[in-house]
Homo-oligomer: A and B are copies of this chain.
């Protein structure tokens, strides 16, 4: 198929590469041109210098960083009005439920199809084409893009016809990730206050009750006190928790645990974790308990 791909960060790059590798004709655009040119020279994608030139063909994928970038390109930048008639736009980004709703409306007004397809998985998983991909939108549109999505995903998880559902689920999932990390951080500090080492505690938990990727990845980082470079950057974790809170508030859903996460993440940022991984929530728990101070 003839497709466009907009947004070539670590995730977008890996996903677009899989489309190219599967034999599709992929036109790529990225804000900083280097990423697109690299895809062109290495894999044979076609790099273009403006997003509207990628918005031609049957399907447009986008994986922009956040709400702001998505708004700038599609709404303020006018890309919505430059898309080929009949195109399906598949948005893989983690954006707000409110923006997903707005985009769905704007596409509908113009006779374009909009599919939300956010993903769970890190860049290496994306490169392997093994993402878990949530998919929500009109049935016919999804059927059309399914072969493309299957080149990127280990499994597609259908979430119904309203695109924002996939976004709500993605945010709920990221909320659960941050919850798990906060829980592990608080529990570790409790154990440490009784003289048990963080690594002993974390090894126990992540090889028994919590032998799942989230606990193992962030637990390892905590045990090793290795918070840079970030895998999941703490400011992005705060952004996602706040988007989950917004989604919850819009539908009047109290989420007291999300509120605790928000405060801990803000406290982390106030205390030097701007460039760190979410695992640095452990630092917040330590500082509250003054673990360093008491060792002396």
Task: Let me know if B165 and A194 touch, CB within 8 A.
Answer: yes
Contact of A191 among B169, B259, B262 (CB under 8 A): B169
Q: B172 contacts A190, CB within 8 Å?
A: yes
Instruction: Please report A residues at the B interface, Cβ cutoff 8 Å.
Output: 97, 120, 132, 134, 157, 159-160, 162, 164-165, 168-169, 171-173, 175-177, 179-180, 182-184, 186-191, 193-196, 200-201, 204-205, 208-215, 242, 244-245, 247-249, 251-260, 262-264, 266-267, 269-272, 285, 287-290, 293-294
CB-CB nearest 4 A-B residue pairs: A259-B259, A212-B212, A179-B183, A252-B270
Count copies of this chain in the complex: 4
Given contacts A159-B196, A190-B244, A210-B212, are A270 and B256 in contact (CB under 8 A)?
no
Instruction: Considering the complex, give the chain B residue whose CB is closest to the CB of A177.
Output: B209
Contact assessment for A165 and B195 in the assembled complex, using a CB-CB cutoff below 8 Å? yes
What distance in Å separates the Cβ of A197 from its nearest Cβ neighbour in chain B?
9
Q: Which residues of B are found within 8 Å of A191, using beta-carbon distances?
A: 165, 168-169, 172
Q: How far is the CA of A245 from the CA of B260 in the complex (A)?
A: 13
**Contact across chains for B251 and A194 when beta carbons are under 8 A apart:** yes
Say yes or no: A183 contacts B186, CB within 8 Å.
no
Query: Nearest chain-B residue to A190 (Cβ)?
Result: B172
